[in-house]
Amino acid sequence: MIRKIDAQSFELKPLGMYLVEAELITPDELDTALKIQKLSGEQLGKILAMHGFVRQQTIEYFMSNVVLPGRRKILKNQSYSDNGNSDRISVIEPTSYIKPVDAIAALQSSHKLKVYLSANKTLKFLLGVVLCLAIISLLANYNVYYLPDFPGRDISRILFDLNSEDNIPTIYSGGALLFCSILLQIIFQAQRLAKNKDVWAWRGLSIVFAGLFLDELIGLHERLTTPLRGTFNTSGFLYYAWVIAGAIFVLLFLLVFGRFVATLPGKTRRLFFIAGTIYVAGAIATELVSGYYEYYYTPSSMVYVFITTIEEVLEMLGIVIFIYALLSYISCNIKGIDIGIHIIDSRKQDQRT
């Protein structure tokens, strides 16, 4: 005699059902998340956390202390033989459910590397980096101009001079711009998932900062100086003629993104404005002063070094504040950002295909 056990008792109860039963989310919130999951293909837990319905830590707790133990119990029940009775148990398993063995193995085999970013701590750290770079650059230049030659004097200036290219400050500045581009891309992905308006403005900003990153590495704007100087016969404040193209770029940027920035939350809008003002003050306004000084005096002096140091520090400070603005925006408006890196075994992938 074969007894059929209700298949419902062996179904893998979804995470969403656990959260609804615990009254941590409402059925409407679960329904919304399921609709988004159907469109995006993202994990339900990630969607719930991203939209602020439940904290990521709560989801992880439920997975490790409720969901997984429940599924282990299912496995145990499936192998249950009715305590020695001769009756054999037949389980009708719905084909629409994932096999418990595969589900548990997938969950238990995932290893996560978590990196937590705090807007305030990141701000303090980057401000410290900028301050150290500025001090080291000034000391390196001071050694060249006022101290006799000693081992490492010239190489330290090459490595740390803020006004030079292809050195440690350049790597830092490029990395900061690239980090901005990555954060903007993360916001774009989250906003697209939530189907918010003006989502493509975030993608546009990400592309702009990726371009600034490339420009920082190859110095494209500085290569415009000679042809523009020859074309317009510039001198004095416009001795670095690339600022003409820079000013046009700033105007176009304001025309394209000005309206979008005006729609951002108050704190983010103010931080964007402060960051942009400081960055432009360094990149263009102070560049005018340094061009004037080089044209009428000489770049081989500590005065010129101070001017260019102020210029580079202002640019760095503008980017630091912008990074702080982006991290603050993510923490306040996009809950539960979770970035995963998955390394796929190519041999297993080939077997699947």
Alpha-carbon gap, residue 353 to 341, rounded angstroms? 21
Same-domain pairing of 172 and 27? no
pLDDT of 343 reads 54
User: What is the identity of the amino acid at 125?
Assistant: F
Same-domain pairing of 285 and 140? yes
Same-domain pairing of 100 and 163? no
- CA–CA distances in Å: residue 263 to residues 14, 81, 206: 38, 64, 18
Same-domain pairing of 89 and 130? no
Asked whether 170 and 216 are in contact (CB, 8 A), the reply is: yes
pLDDT of 3 reads 44
Asked whether 312 and 159 are in contact (CB, 8 A), the reply is: no
Same-domain pairing of 127 and 271? yes
Is 22 part of a structural domain of the chain?
Answer: yes
Closest among 301, 298, 168, 173 to 157, alpha carbons compared: 168
Residue 187 burial (CB < 10 Å; 0-12/13-18/19+)? buried
Same-domain pairing of 207 and 324? yes
Q: What is the pLDDT along the chain (353 residues), one digit of tens a residue?
A: 444 444 444 455 677 787 887 778 888 888 888 877 877 777 888 888 777 777 777 877 777 777 777 667 766 666 554 444 444 444 444 444 444 444 444 444 444 555 678 899 999 999 999 999 999 999 999 999 999 988 989 999 999 999 998 899 999 999 999 999 999 999 999 888 878 888 999 999 999 999 999 999 888 888 899 999 999 999 999 999 999 999 999 999 999 999 999 999 999 999 999 999 999 999 999 999 999 999 999 999 999 999 999 999 999 999 999 999 999 999 888 765 555 555 555 554 454 44
Is 346 part of a structural domain of the chain?
Answer: no
Same-domain pairing of 25 and 173? no
User: What is the identity of the amino acid at 235?
Assistant: S
Same-domain pairing of 170 and 288? yes
The distance in angstroms from the start CA to the end CA of the chain is: 42
In three-state secondary structure terms, 88 is strand
The total number of structural domains in the chain stands at 2
Same-domain pairing of 78 and 123? no
Is 324 part of a structural domain of the chain?
Answer: yes
Is 85 part of a structural domain of the chain?
Answer: yes
E-strand spans in the chain?
2-5, 88-91
Domain membership of residue 89 as a residue range:
2-110
Same-domain pairing of 77 and 209? no
Alpha-carbon gap, residue 100 to 82, rounded angstroms? 20
Is 353 part of a structural domain of the chain?
Answer: no
Same-domain pairing of 219 and 77? no
Alpha-carbon gap, residue 12 to 206, rounded angstroms? 41
Same-domain pairing of 259 and 194? yes
Alpha-carbon gap, residue 75 to 79, rounded angstroms? 7
Tokens, residue 247: 């000013």
